[in-house]
A and B are shown apart, each in its own frame.
Chain A
Amino acid sequence: MQESLFAPGHRACAGCGMPIVIKLVLDAAGPNTIVASSTGCLEVTSTPFPESSWKVPWIHSLFENPASVASGIEIAFKKFGRTDINLLVIAGDGSTFDIGIGSISGMFDRGHNITYICYDNEAYMNTGVQRSGSTPIYASTTTTPIGTQSPGNLVRKKDMPAIAVAHGASYVATASIAYPVDLRRKVKRSLEIKGPAYIQINAPCITGWSYADGDTIEQAKLVVETCICPLYEYVDGELVGVKKVRNKRPVEDYLKTQGRYKHLFRAEGGDVYIANIQAIADRNAEKFGLLD
């Protein structure tokens, strides 16, 4: 591995999945890259003023507009006659799924040559684990707390990659930090393809998901092996590849390792909720042909 373009000394929690995403993405994109970021864990942990972890040009403006900022940068560079620069947006799921979805829609619509990377930790982790559009069903968060009448989040995870595909984005993929070769290849491919690209990368959050120390990569692997998070890629709206799952594991293997799902194994009727999650995983396996 070449020297990381994301310097240590950042303030991400010990065992955070997000810096691993950033490291791998920058490793694939290389130094000839400009990054625009939204507000979120990444911004506050990597750029506590007057410091910065970034060794590539990086800009933050607001929660909702990294896609617009990157669009402006792309147009400016085009005007200068320079199209040899990798332009990335790296934003969290809160910004991507909820707050910034309008500006992302505009970016896809106008067809900018930008790769939008969403590190998906499935809630607003920076502000204290509030539910986002990406939070999976039955996960406990501070705004979807569990109780006698509540099994946690009642809404299923928004299918953001499908929204990107529906926009006609040139390249759409999902990736996981547990498969770094696959992740880097997808980032490189997105940069080679002209037009807007969207890559959603599963990034386990030790604070919000509450799993055991050092289990970060194992979490990212389990979510793929249970088919809860299918890894696939679309080019121009066509499904061109999926990561096959050799031994599909029951969703309990994933759920039982996390504090945010603990109630499903304790509460009465918890098995019904687990069966619902299993049904989601089974649908993914069938829809994307994950099994042979």
Chain B
Amino acid sequence: MTRCEVSMVVEPGSTQVTKTGAWRTFVPVIDHDKCIKCSLCEIFCPDSCIHQVEGNFVPDLDYCKGCSICAHECPRGAIEMVLEEK
């Protein structure tokens, strides 16, 4: 009798091996002087890829799909979407 050897249990958070940043056309550029650290960009990012690094909010470009939600929701207009040249 053959037994199914394929385990359907996988590592937690393992989609991180897939760098969805390759999907991006526009990249968010954050003006840290305008930023008031409200963290709305972090809360609303569907890809959980904006984090506070040394006090400033920075997008993780490995995963940012360039959806521009952060730029739309920033109450100070501190985030600009810029065409990315690769």
Contacts and interface: CB of A to CB of B under 8 A. Distances in A.
**Which residue among B17, B18, B69, B81 has the maximum number of chain A CB atoms within 10 Å of its CB?**
B69
Given A9-B17, A214-B68, A14 B8 contact: no
A14 B15 contact: no
A20 B50 CA distance: 13
Contacts of A136: none
B52 to A, nearest CB: 9
B67 interface: yes
A7 interface: yes
Contacts, number: 108
A52 B47 CA distance: 14
A8 B68 contact: no
**Which residue among B44, B46, B47, B49 has the maximum number of chain A CB atoms within 10 Å of its CB?**
B46
B60 A8 contact: yes
B72 A214 contact: yes
B69 A15 contact: yes
Interface SS of B by simple majority: loop
- Interface magnitude class on chain B: 35 or more
A51 B18 contact: yes
Contact of A49 (B10, B24, B39): B10
Interface string A194-216: 00000000000010000001111
B16 A9 contact: yes
Given A14-B66, A19-B46, A7 B15 contact: yes
B29 interface: no
Given A8-B60, A17-B46, 10 more contacts: A8-B48, A9-B20, A9-B63, A16-B46, A20-B44, A24-B43, A52-B12, A55-B12, A215-B72, A217-B72
22 contacts: A1-B43, A7-B16, A7-B48, A9-B14, A9-B18, A9-B19, A11-B18, A12-B46, A14-B23, A14-B24, A14-B65, A16-B46, A20-B46, A46-B15, A52-B13, A52-B14, A54-B12, A206-B67, A213-B67, A214-B68, A214-B72, A216-B69
Interface of B: 8, 10-20, 23-24, 39, 42-49, 60, 62-63, 65-69, 71-73, 81
